Structure 1
Amino acid sequence: MSASPLRIAVAGANGRMGRMLIEAVTQANDCVLAGALGLPGSPELGQDAAAFLGRASGVLITADLHQGLAHADVLIDFTRPEGTLAHLAVCRELGVKAVIGTTGFSDEQKAQIAEHGLHIALVMAPNMSVGVNVVLRLLDMAARALNEGFDIEIVEAHHRHKVDAPSGTALAMGEVVASALGRNLKECAVYGREGVTGERDPSTIGFATVRGGDIVGDHTVLFAGTGERIEIAHKSSSRATYAQGSLRAARFLSGQSVGLFGMDQVLGLG
């Protein structure tokens, strides 16, 4: 007998990423859509979650968290920090696992998520792309080898609708590089330059942010030395990469009972 399909609920079901996730879930032969969460007052409430695909899933978009999560094994959430925390509280109550792709959490909010991880299994990553997580490993290797004589700058670009900056992925890249160099990112990060800034402090890690159009997500880490430059970059052309990575994370969670995991563990990178 074949295993039962993984029952997945999607938060932000009427948003760009939510729709990409719903499409990915409905196309996966080992997953089934079990819930779709929308914002209170959204005009899509009560509609079939797959209506935008021209077919019926039998799952209606709801703002009732208990209703939307009642039949799910795993929630995939790419929303806003406050919304995600509200969703996790209900997930914990119902014993639903969660994949968290939301970014912009404060340290206090991250501590709340870690506490939830003592009771349910969670995967949280600033970027669910398989390629980005491979890049994070490459950055660790590069930073350790280029620990002298190289200035480090991180440039990221996203669509005009993104509300946080720098992106969670850029910050994760900065954390990996800083850790490899034995630095504290909070102490060495420079997030903006204007006017007479003086000579660059070689111990800093610089960030530059671009927002415009429909850019899905571009990230470049520049190691600039004397006579040579090394760039490690990742460019996303579709949110489908995040959706497929999220499904891999959901499948990973099916074998976990409690704990807070990262995509490096999902992918067996560390």
Structure 2
Amino acid sequence: MIKILLNGCCGKMGKVIIEAAKNFPNIDIVAGIDKYPNNQLSFKIYTSTNDVDIDYDVLLDFSRPEALADILKLSLKNNKPAILCSTGYTDEELLLISEKSKVIPLFRSANMSLGVNLLNSLLRKVAPILYENYDIEIIEKHHNQKVDSPSGTALLLADTISNSIQINSNYVYGRSGKSKREKNEIGIHAIRGGSIVGDHDVIFAGSGEIIELSHKAMSREVFAVGALKACEFMSNVNTPKLYNMDDILGI
């Protein structure tokens, strides 16, 4: 049985993960961490990482970037792997994650959906073929409570395209007040509204035709399933490294 410590257990995604875990007979959420504990949950909830005194195999974080330092401190103390599912990390925080992954196994993905990561893998193959004759634009849509913009997933897709082509690309966020489009631009556009779970469209616009690659998350459960699969994977690794969804998918 894989014992999970869930940080952010009382948040929206925390609740989805708890429900999804019922379909993973080899996973047991043994405790949670949340500043605003919900006494209706069946496991013990700590309000601070400093109070954690329970044995666990993997720490799963679905909270906010501000929790990173405490998560890493606890993981280093216990020499346990951590799965970081938050988005909106600063460059300094990403550097910290990279540094600490040399000491303990860490997992980070801008999107925990298996489908999004398969789409990302596909972009590595098609972007080098299409970029010379097609303009590239990314549109992401999320609910009106999402804090970071553009989404971590949109940046993940843009970075994959940028790293796959032979020109120095320039990210353009929106087009208000801009002149005509330059060839090296990758447009990134954010929409916020209602309860949209998460839609991402990558558009290759050519002369006389348009190719679109899209992913639409119909439920937060897709992120929970991906996170729990990451827990299964990370429970079996011992080598310090920064892992991601490519390691799980074998791509």
What range describes the TM-score normalised by the shorter chain of this pair? Answer: over 0.9
TM-score (norm 1): 0.89
**Which residue matches 2:230?**
249
- TM-aligned CA deviation for residue 134 of structure 1: 0.3
1:233 aligns with 2:214: yes
Structure 1 contact 69–75 (Cα < 8 Å) conserved:
no
Give the RMSD, CA atoms, in angstroms: 1.4
**2-side partners of 1:69 and 1:208: how far apart?**
44
Count how many residue pairs are aligned between Structure 1 and Structure 2.
250
Higher relative contact order (CA 8 A, sep 6+): 2
**2-side partners of 1:48 and 1:267: how far apart?**
35
In structure 1, stretches of 5+ residues that fail to align are 50-56
Structure 2 contact 136–205 (Cα < 8 Å) conserved:
yes
Any idea what SS the aligned residue of 2:199 has?
strand
**2-side partners of 1:33 and 1:202: how far apart?**
49
**2-side partners of 1:263 and 1:48: how far apart?**
32
Any idea what SS the aligned residue of 1:174 has?
helix
In structure 2, stretches of 5+ residues that fail to align are none
1:222 aligns with 2:192: no
Residues 84/26 of structure 1: CA separation in 2 closer, same or farther (3 Å cut): farther
Amino acid at match of 2:173: Y
**2-side partners of 1:109 and 1:225: how far apart?**
38
**2-side partners of 1:182 and 1:96: how far apart?**
39
Any idea what SS the aligned residue of 1:171 has?
helix
Larger deviation, residues 68-77 vs 256-265: 68-77
Structure 2 contact 110–156 (Cα < 8 Å) conserved:
yes
1:108 aligns with 2:92: yes
1:260 aligns with 2:245: no
Any idea what SS the aligned residue of 2:163 has?
helix
TM-score (norm 2): 0.95
- Report the identity percentage: 38
User: 1:15-164 counterparts in 2 under 5 A?
Assistant: 15-39=11-35, 42=36, 44-45=37-38, 47-49=39-41, 57=42, 59-68=43-52, 70-164=54-148
Structure 2 contact 168–184 (Cα < 8 Å) conserved:
no
Any idea what SS the aligned residue of 1:25 has?
helix
